[in-house]
Amino acid sequence: MKLLLPTSTAGSLPKPSWLAQPEKLWSPWKLDNEELTEGKHDALRVSLQEQQQAGIDIVSDGEQTRQHFVTTFIEQLSGVDFDKRKTVKIRNRYDASVPTVVGPVSRQRPVFVEDAKVLRKQTDKPIKWALPGPMTMIDTLYDDHYKSREKLAWEFAKILNQEAKELEAAGVDIIQFDEPAFNVFFDEVNEWGIAALERAIEGLKCETAVHICYGYGIKANTDWKNTLGTEWRQYEEVFPKLQKSNIDIISLECHNSRVPIELLELIRGKKVMVGAIDVATDEIETPEEVADTLRKALQFVDADKLYPCTNCGMAPLSRSIARGKLSALSQGAEIIRKELQEQL
Ligand SMILES: [Zn+2]
């Protein structure tokens, strides 16, 4: 990518109110059947337009065609019974009623490939597509078949690899795996989580990213963050091994976060999507605040490897706030681009 500091978002953007109830996770669809398919694709076009108008360089579908970043993918797989539910603790944080793995998991058909083709047709800009990571997928299910988190993650990694290869063929430039679970289960991440992720990207020629964050700005996450103390050092546990992995890009949370910025030194050499927009507040950052976070990150990330981004998805925010935050992101990146050019 020739442009310095190309901007992007971590993934989800708010949906229009005619498609789903705004400012809500797992919001039910307001349309059915063909109307729903058409509505999702219309929303995808609107979301793309908003990103382009805000000056975002690497665009996405804003996750307009999915209800939830993990569940919507799993719903399309066989081997998971959505009627047989159990209550489990997700990411050691909150109870949720989840579906049960009842047999071998497999992908009967492509999940997002048609949506990616729709996006590819609309723009010449680089596009990024997000998929859930294997460890985050197993953490939202009750497993009554494999009875091994590692085995199930490995099966999901193979399925994700099939989907990723077809997304690549559809013209996706960057495939991102969302792994908030990497911030919680450190031993497993190091024992097999990163290996499973590398299985998911096996044979891909496009760029690959992993997104690790402290979650959406919902109450369960905010309560959890309040227990983490003054310094959030979770990244320290997984960065050394990630630095040695085949993943090209690491997407993480920085702005307004208690993550010590010097932890970025542990992934020196990787491209880094630096979260410079807080998704847990309605307050819109000023471009100068964004620039300040990027400036701090530049101490530990080489300029040609720094990708300004949001801390996480913005699905639960209002559309106008999300638009404001997107503009602040690109204006903040522009401030730093100018500074870097002056230094040349
Ligand atoms: Zn996130």
Cα separation, 5 vs 100, in Å, equals: 42
One digit per residue, the tens of pLDDT, for the chain of length 344 reads 578 999 999 999 999 999 999 888 888 999 999 999 999 999 999 999 999 999 999 999 999 999 999 999 999 999 999 999 999 888 888 888 999 999 999 999 999 999 999 999 999 999 999 999 999 999 999 999 999 999 999 999 999 999 999 999 999 999 999 999 999 999 999 999 999 999 999 999 999 999 999 888 788 888 888 898 889 999 999 999 999 999 999 999 999 889 999 999 999 999 999 999 999 999 999 999 999 999 999 999 999 999 999 999 999 999 999 999 999 999 999 999 999 999 87
Give the amino acid at 323. Answer: R
| Cα(214) to centroid(ligand 1), Å | 6
| Cα(310) to centroid(ligand 1), Å | 9
Residues at Cβ < 5 Å from ligand 1 ion: 213, 312
Write down the pLDDT at residue 198.
Answer: 98
| Cα(68) to centroid(ligand 1), Å | 12
Contacts 24+ apart (CB under 8 A), 104-108: 104/79, 104/145, 104/155, 105/77, 105/78, 105/79, 105/80, 105/152, 105/155, 105/156, 105/159, 106/77, 106/78, 106/79, 106/159, 107/76, 107/77, 107/78, 107/159, 107/162, 107/163, 108/76, 108/77, 108/78
Cα 63 versus chain centre, distance: 10
3-state secondary structure of 177: strand
| Cα(281) to centroid(ligand 1), Å | 14
Write down the pLDDT at residue 94.
Answer: 82
What is the CB neighbour count within 10 angstroms for residue 286?
12
Write down the pLDDT at residue 290.
Answer: 98
| Cα(341) to centroid(ligand 1), Å | 31
What is the CB neighbour count within 10 angstroms for residue 12?
28
Helix axes 287-297, 319-343, angle to 10 degrees: 50
Write down the pLDDT at residue 81.
Answer: 97
| Cα(343) to centroid(ligand 1), Å | 33
Give the amino acid at 44. Answer: L
